[in-house]
Structure 1
Amino acid sequence: MIRICTSLAEAGYAVTLIGRRFTGSPALVTRPFKQKRLFCFFRTGKLSYLEYNLRLFLCLLFIKADGVCAIDLDTILPFYFISKLKGIPRVYDAHELFCEMKEVVTRPRIYKVWKWVERYAVPKFKHGYTVNKPIADEFKMMYRTEYEVIRNVPVWEPLEIPDKPEKFILFQGAVNEGRSFETLIPAMQYVNAPFVICGNGNFMIQAEFLASEYDTNHRIEFKGRILPAELKELTKKAWIGVTLFENNGLSNYYSLANRFFDYIHAGIPQLCVDYPAYREINNKYNIAVLTSDLRSEALAERLNELLNNKNLYYQLQQNCLQAREAINWQQEEKKLLAFYKNIL
């Protein structure tokens, strides 16, 4: 969201980004747009969603705007009702197929609620964009929408590969269900390298328990949420990135995670799932080792290959440096600005 809001602000739009404030949230960094965090008493569960949506609606009620953008399904209702109330355009930014996430699709009652929200609200958002064509095609098939594809990729900047005295493996992003931690953490029993996890999420407690259960605490460091600038520098120093998702719903299968591109721009090869969007890019640029086998033994074998096969590693690294020249925010930004120019 920082990239999108920055591009819009630098193009002359007055942008306000609204999010949640959690205990321990890092301090806000000065940006070229306004930022507002909403405090909620309930941190998890159904009441947390209800409270946040109510507070978001009330916040939006007192903000003067010529248009609004909902980020994913869990914020879509307040933005819909506000846009109707104020008679302004509304945009849906769909990072994923929300109802197909593991934590939703595997819980029938929760799935039923969110699917009702999706069926009610998404068709009412004529304007929208998402991260890849397979997801855009799914929305078109379900709701006859014509959403744009705007990938959330890093800004191109000059890169100098730093010295790496220690080979460590990095995961960055939400520590949520469906990210293969159940097999990735046990795999570290067979990999002689540190594993650094940057992020937090609904699987954090279970992930820490797995590290203890499989006696991999000495290899795994849980850093929690860190500031983007710090994460960017840490990513450059990593030896391998990890982008894994269980194939338990279309959201994972059609995903195109931000970290996939963050690793490319840091010039680090990665172990990545062999799903359509990743395969398409890897077929063109060959920047990752793809796997369709998420068993612990298979993951350990692939990670060890990247750690020990110097020729493979440095070829993938060089390919990353070439790919980042073509896949960057400077290219995607053009589509974003054209999109909003046609609406506002």
Structure 2
Amino acid sequence: MRCFFSSGPLFYVEYNFRLFFYLLFQRSDAICAIDLDTILPVYFISIFRNSRRVYDAHELFTEMKEIVTRPRIHKIWKSIERFAVPRFRFGYTVNTFIQNNLSELYHVNYAIVRNLPFYHEDITADYPTGKIFIYQGAVNEGRGFETLIPSMKYVDAEFQIYGEGNFFDKTRQLIRDNDLEKKVKLMGNVLPEKLQAITPHMFAGIMIVENCGLSLYYSLANKFFDFMMAGIPQICIDFPEYKAINDQYQFAYMIPDIETVTLEGAMNKLICDPILYHQLKNNAMSARKTLNWQQESKILLDFYKSLFENE
């Protein structure tokens, strides 16, 4: 949906008006709002049409760093949340913390549906030919690049970064400042299908974020499961939702912080301990048979089946 404004309050005002009038002329049996930035037009359209409405809470929207650090903006979004979420009887989210948080605040009982990748048979447990660590996703603030890039000075391996974002130029400068142009490569954006083909050939993934707000602390990033689905080990920050899953499946090497010395030690541990490496890799190969969209989609289908039965 194209908007005249590209950022700021006017973008959200314009986007919500455009979305309202777009939905006004769409036929549907139910309407799903994805996060708070779509919830108002979905709510008012559902009232206008007397139709079913669903809230898909991908994250703790009001606790994102760019919102919680700006009091006036935070107050506006919190007001929208207080008004709208209690009016969405049906919904789902990605983890138990957000589920419990919304239940305590707004007395809603949402299901949990995680955004898991599709299961593919064509992945092998072969040892990679080279030692290349991979990061994939948004190259944004709060992703730990300030400590991650310098750690590569002490690791005998290559590091490839797939993606772009608001910290991309600063990441490039960090690579130059640490004289790591030959070891750290910025690969830019690639199509998901291509990245899906590249990742299984990597040595291990990097799954870290900074603790700069509840939204990130209780996040459950797609790449956590993407690395698992690719059948490769990963170095992962031990935030609660990641730890809970890894305690059960044991496919990630968990770290308590993202200091340079911690990251350096974790990467060298995987390189120098082939027994641990193969154990994590085999566990990923096993976990992917359970943690996949073919299984998780059954929960979503049951949710919508129940939605139409209850109305």
Alpha-carbon deviations, 1:258-312, whole Å to 9, x = none?
1111111111100111111111121122111111121112111111212232111
Separation (CA, whole Å) in 2 of partners of 1:223 and 1:114: 35
In structure 1, the residue corresponding to 2:288 is in which secondary structure? helix
In structure 1, the residue corresponding to 2:55 is in which secondary structure? strand
| Structure 1 residue 316 displacement after superposition | 0.5
1:278 match? 242
Alpha-carbon deviations, 1:50-70, whole Å to 9, x = none?
332232222222211111111
Match 2:106 to one of 143, 154, 174: 143
Separation (CA, whole Å) in 2 of partners of 1:287 and 1:215: 32
Match 1:125 to one of 67, 81, 88: 88
Separation (CA, whole Å) in 2 of partners of 1:144 and 1:72: 18
1:325 match? 289
1:184 match? 148
Match 1:342 to one of 288, 306, 310: 306
Separation (CA, whole Å) in 2 of partners of 1:209 and 1:111: 32
User: Taking every aligned residue pair, what percent have the same amino acid on both sides?
Assistant: 49
Match 1:95 to one of 29, 34, 58: 58
Separation (CA, whole Å) in 2 of partners of 1:161 and 1:322: 10
2:261 match? 297
| Structure 1 residue 161 displacement after superposition | 4.2
Question: Do residues 240 (structure 1) and 204 (structure 2) align?
Answer: yes
Q: TM-score, with normalisation over the residues of structure 2?
A: 0.92
Separation (CA, whole Å) in 2 of partners of 1:272 and 1:111: 29
Alpha-carbon deviations, 1:152-189, whole Å to 9, x = none?
11222212246733321111222233222222223223
Cα–Cα, structure 1 residues 298 and 319, in superposed 2: closer, same or farther, change >3 Å?
Answer: same
Alpha-carbon deviations, 1:225-251, whole Å to 9, x = none?
322211111111111111112122221
Question: Do residues 212 (structure 1) and 172 (structure 2) align?
Answer: no
Mapping for residues 223-234 of structure 1, pairs under 5 Å: 223-234=187-198
Mark the runs of 5 or more structure 1 residues left unpaired by the alignment: 1-37
Give 1:147's aligned amino acid.
Y
Superposition CA RMSD, Å: 1.9
Separation (CA, whole Å) in 1 of partners of 2:88 and 2:295: 25
In structure 1, the residue corresponding to 2:307 is in which secondary structure? coil
Separation (CA, whole Å) in 2 of partners of 1:210 and 1:56: 40
1:201 match? 165
Separation (CA, whole Å) in 1 of partners of 2:113 and 2:252: 22
Give 1:306's aligned amino acid.
L
| Structure 1 residue 198 displacement after superposition | 2.0
Give 2:272's aligned amino acid.
N
In structure 2, the residue corresponding to 1:208 is in which secondary structure? helix
2:33 match? 70
1:105 match? 68
Question: Do residues 174 (structure 1) and 174 (structure 2) align?
Answer: no
Mark the runs of 5 or more structure 2 residues left unpaired by the alignment: none
In structure 2, the residue corresponding to 1:50 is in which secondary structure? helix
Separation (CA, whole Å) in 2 of partners of 1:44 and 1:193: 39
| Structure 1 residue 338 displacement after superposition | 0.7
In structure 1, the residue corresponding to 2:289 is in which secondary structure? helix
1:316 match? 280
Give 1:66's aligned amino acid.
D
Give 1:102's aligned amino acid.
K
Please say if residues 93 and 128 of structure 1, whose CA atoms lie closer than 8 Å, have aligned partners that are also in contact: yes
Give 1:209's aligned amino acid.
Q
Alpha-carbon deviations, 1:1-58, whole Å to 9, x = none?
xxxxxxxxxxxxxxxxxxxxxxxxxxxxxxxxxxxxx123333333333332232222
Give 1:112's aligned amino acid.
K
1:21 match? none
Separation (CA, whole Å) in 2 of partners of 1:185 and 1:45: 31
Give 1:238's aligned amino acid.
M
Separation (CA, whole Å) in 2 of partners of 1:212 and 1:112: 40
Q: TM-score, with normalisation over the residues of structure 1?
A: 0.83
Alpha-carbon deviations, 1:71-107, whole Å to 9, x = none?
1122222222222222211111111111112222222
2:4 match? 41
Cα–Cα, structure 1 residues 197 and 57, in superposed 2: closer, same or farther, change >3 Å?
Answer: farther
Please say if residues 132 and 203 of structure 2, whose CA atoms lie closer than 8 Å, have aligned partners that are also in contact: yes
Deviates more, 1:196-205 or 1:61-70: 196-205
